[in-house]
Structure 1
Amino acid sequence: MSQTTSATVAKATEAFQKGSPLLVHDAEDREGETDLIYPAQAVTPEAVSRLRNDAGGLICVALSHDVAQAFGLAYMDEIIDHPASEGHELGYDSRSSFSLTVNHRDTYTGITDDDRALTITELAHAASLADELDFADEFRAPGHVHLLRAAPGLLSERQGHTELGVALANAAELPPAVVVCEMLDDQTGGALSPDNARAYAERHDFPYLEGAQIIETLG
């Protein structure tokens, strides 16, 4: 492992621990996308607004395998009893990480910035109390926050933004619940290029990491 890579990931992890979002590009031969990633516990209504307006992708909360297991959160393709859930052939991975969509029970519609921030921060709180809390007492489904379930072996098994984000939370000693949202290009409608994502990170003083750096350091 290079000292530069280790120092870069350590600096980003320290910022993440303090509540700063990170930009993480998975790999050109995978999704080829950069996600804006927040510690779930640090998400405010203003952060949800940034995710909507600056990132523009799907706002999801990634949970560790152990937390998802404790809450009985299966993969969505195991939950849905419909022909459309069969025969998934993804070009970038063997399976999707999607689980349920949820709202916290204290939300109204669940879609506003305030409501989604509440759901997200309560998911972080729940993740820190996974063995003590009844998930259905706190959350209802379907809802407006998409849950993702990390692979049991984390980066040794799968290297998507779900696992990259949870690995960063573990390294920062935070609850294993992170918000991930794809950064899209308003001009092309496609994924924001790594160069433009890096420029965005520099403008806002957010750390930018390549997935390979995280895998090399934390995998």
Structure 2
Amino acid sequence: MTGDASTAAASVERALDALRRGEPILVHDAADREGETDLVYPAGAVTPDAVARMRNDAGGLVCVALGDAVAAAFELPYLQDVLDHPAAADHELGYDDRSSFSLTVNHRDTYTGITDEDRALTITELAAAAADPQGTDFASEFRAPGHVHVLRAAPGLLADREGHTELAVALGEAADLPPAMVVCEMLDDDTGGALSPAAARSYADREGLVYVEGSAVIDRLG
């Protein structure tokens, strides 16, 4: 194994260890894909402070990525497949064949659903549901629309699609976590665009977090 390959593999192992401890990691997909770095948490470890961190330090959408089998058990569709609106008729993407978006939800014990406390509750309850899909009556526990975006991973994960949804769920599964992971894009306050990999690495270094390239995850887990 070359030095670069060894370093990349080690970064994946550090990422898995961090996720097992309930810590966030940073995952960059690829320069020729979205070219974005997401802040990634195990859904079961998300607190109101974690939601605040995603709002303030990342700035993108706070989404919960669910494994395909769990989403199927909860009858959560790909949103573009069920939207009866002309805007959904031609969902062309520059970076992939399809979007992972499913429904937006709130847990039924939330109030507005948007506060840090409410979103943390919805997210952790999604993780609990993902850990026991057969024992969950999804419609009695969650309502839609809501303030947490749900993503549905491709059935074959990284063999089918190499987006943050699949990268995060694959990492969670490799860490023996429920297939429910939170992803939030990191944006640049100065440019309004995606945070560059160099800037994301610097953030990870400052905060003591693991940064991992999607290519390393695919090589290790794909």
Aligned equivalents of 2:187 and 2:94: distance in 1? Answer: 19
Residue 127 of structure 1: aligned partner:
130
| Equivalent in 98, 111, 135 of residue 101 of structure 2 | 98
Residue 77 of structure 1: aligned partner:
80
Q: How does 1:94-173 map to 2 (within 5 A)?
A: 94-173=97-176
CA drift of 1:6 comes to: 2.2
CA drift of 1:89 comes to: 1.0
Q: Retained in 1: the 8 A contact 2:39–2:185?
A: yes
Pair 1:49-2:26 in alignment: no
Aligned equivalents of 1:6 and 1:131: distance in 2? Answer: 35
Q: Which amino acid aligns with 2:83?
A: I
> 1:87-125 CA deviation, whole Å, 9 max, x = no partner?
111000000000000000000000000000000000000
Q: Retained in 1: the 8 A contact 2:39–2:54?
A: yes
Gaps of 5+ in 1: none
Residue 186 of structure 2: aligned partner:
183
Q: Which amino acid aligns with 2:196?
A: S
Q: Which amino acid aligns with 1:87?
A: D
> 1:178-208 CA deviation, whole Å, 9 max, x = no partner?
0000000000000000000000000001100
CA drift of 1:4 comes to: 2.8
| Equivalent in 194, 197, 217 of residue 197 of structure 2 | 194
Pair 1:6-2:9 in alignment: yes
With normalisation by structure 1, the TM-score equals 0.99
Q: Retained in 1: the 8 A contact 2:8–2:212?
A: no
Corresponding residue SS for 1:131: helix
CA drift of 1:16 comes to: 0.8
Gaps of 5+ in 2: none
Aligned equivalents of 2:218 and 2:160: distance in 1? Answer: 11
With normalisation by structure 2, the TM-score equals 0.97
Q: CA RMSD in A?
A: 0.8
Q: Which amino acid aligns with 2:155?
A: P
Alignment size in residue pairs: 219
Corresponding residue SS for 1:163: helix
CA drift of 1:132 comes to: 1.5
Corresponding residue SS for 1:58: coil
Q: Which amino acid aligns with 1:51?
A: M
Q: Retained in 1: the 8 A contact 2:127–2:178?
A: yes
Q: Which amino acid aligns with 2:116?
A: D
CA drift of 1:12 comes to: 1.2
Corresponding residue SS for 1:102: strand
